[in-house]
């Protein structure tokens, strides 16, 4: 099974995280921010990743350090759990509606990190969560996983719905990309022979 644990302890955050890429969506998440907990729960459920996240952060400042550092630790755990990436499908795309919101996700587990987006949120916050932290989390995740990720918002008037579509789309695309292609189970999906 493809399982990994990762942690990060700084003066700003103390994070323990565990993931099973071949799980069923079981989750135990406490980031210190209810809305971010909700997004990571959706991420686990829709990707069928077993995910445990415990974060003690300097939330008296804001949630920036927590969101960014959880992205770092989650990206590291995905990277470790994938090992040599032999047999993975590597590429995936998803188009996800959430009521009036509609978001497209395209990704490549390339070993090269790149993150591009054009989402824009009508509000600066959802609950206590700053909407600008979605990009901070995703950028940190991509850097530490070696993921190329493109996110395009086609429609959306509600910040909660837009962000939810992003997290659901990301998890469903990742679930496909990390799945094993039975026709190529013993191959690295790259002409270079390494990812």
d(CA 25, CA 82): 17
d(CA 180, CA 192): 19
d(CA 24, CA 2): 13
The pLDDT value given to residue 82: 98
Q: Fold for domain 3-184? A: Ribosomal Protein S5; domain 2 (3.30.230)
92 in Cβ contact with 179 (< 8 Å): no
The pLDDT value given to residue 193: 86
Q: Which two tokens stand for residue 18?
A: 């565990």
CA 173 to chain centroid, in Å, comes to 10
d(CA 15, CA 7): 5
81 in Cβ contact with 69 (< 8 Å): no
pLDDT per residue, tens digit, the chain (195 aa), is 899 999 999 999 999 999 999 999 999 999 999 999 999 999 999 999 999 999 999 999 999 999 999 999 999 999 999 999 999 999 999 999 999 999 999 999 999 999 999 999 999 999 999 999 999 999 999 999 999 999 999 999 999 999 999 999 999 999 999 999 999 999 999 998 889
**What are φ and ψ of residue 155, in 5° steps?**
-150, 165
Residues near 184 by beta carbon (within 8 Å), at least 6 away in sequence = 87
Radius of gyration of the chain (CA): 16
Please give, one letter per residue, the 3-state secondary structure of 60-95: CCCCHHHHHHHHHHHHHHHHHHHCCCCCECCEEEEE
Residues near 31 by beta carbon (within 8 Å), at least 6 away in sequence = 37, 40, 53, 55, 57, 63, 66, 67, 70
Q: What is the pLDDT of residues 12-56, one digit of tens each?
A: 999 999 999 999 999 999 999 999 999 999 999 999 999 999 999
């Amino acid at each position: 099974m493809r399982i990994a644990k990762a942690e990060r302890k700084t003066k700003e955050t103390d994070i323990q995280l565990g993931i099973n890429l071949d799980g069923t969506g079981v989750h135990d998440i406490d980031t210190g921010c209810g809305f971010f907990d909700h997004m990571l729960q959706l991420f686990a459920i829709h990707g069928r990743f077993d995910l445990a996240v415990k974060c003690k952060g300097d939330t008296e400042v804001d949630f920036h350090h927590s969101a960014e550092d959880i992205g770092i630790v989650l990206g590291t755990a995905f990277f470790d759990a994938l090992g040599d990436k032999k047999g993975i499908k590597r590429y995936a795309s998803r188009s996800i509606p959430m009521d009036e919101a509609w978001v497209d996700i395209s990704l490549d587990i390339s070993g090269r990190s790149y993150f591009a987006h054009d989402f824009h949120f009508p509000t600066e916050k959802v609950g206590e969560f700053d909407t600008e932290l979605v990009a901070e989390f995703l950028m940190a995740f991509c850097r530490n996983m070696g993921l190329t990720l493109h996110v395009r918002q086609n429609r959306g008037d509600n910040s909660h719905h837009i962000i939810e579509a992003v997290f659901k789309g990301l998890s469903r695309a990742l679930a496909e990309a990390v799945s094993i292609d039975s026709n190529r189970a013993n191959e690295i999906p790259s002409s270079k022979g390494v990812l």
